[in-house]
Amino acid sequence: MKTIYLDMDGVLVDIQPKVQSIRKYLIEFTNYKGEVVHLENQPDRVDEVPFLFENLPPMEGAINAFKRLSEIYDVYILSTAPWNNPDAWLHKRLWVEEHLGSAATKRLILSHHKNLMIGDYLVDDRTKNGAGEFKGEHLLFGGADFPDWKTTLEYLEQHA
């Protein structure tokens, strides 16, 4: 059985609407260290916003795709959680349990070095954090070849 890794944010989890809302309406926040962060000067620090990863919806088709892929692949969830937002680690774990079931929590891997994983496929919407150096086939989710779960699932079913 082939091994596949699925990213969370932008692949399984629809995080962009919440990020866009935060960037539009939140000017500053206090991070977990008690530091005040001004987003207008440091927009990339949005991933430090407390509770950013709480209560996010799944991407369209993601839950059904995960269930189907679990029947034909050895599936793992491979995500990166921001170092400067410890509650993100908890909320990612809770999201997996809520949407994919308690058994899936033991298949959650949080790493900033996705290239260290050994497997056949990585479905990720970015090349950061080692995704671009993954030794198997990197399916760039949301790109021209794999714009959505329908297309991605069809490809992966054909190559199982």
What pLDDT score does 61 carry? 98
> What percent of the chain is predicted at pLDDT more than 70?
100
The burial class, CB within 10 Å (0-12 / 13-18 / 19+), for 27 is: exposed
What pLDDT score does 76 carry? 98
Which residue positions in the chain have pLDDT lower than 50?
Answer: none
What pLDDT score does 70 carry? 98
What pLDDT score does 52 carry? 95
Catalytic residues: 7, 9
CATH 3.40.50.1000 residue window(s) in the chain: 3-14+57-158
What pLDDT score does 62 carry? 98
CATH architecture of 3-14+57-158: 3-Layer(aba) Sandwich (3.40)
Q: What are phi and psi of 60, to 5 degrees?
A: -60, 125
> pTM to 2 decimals?
0.95
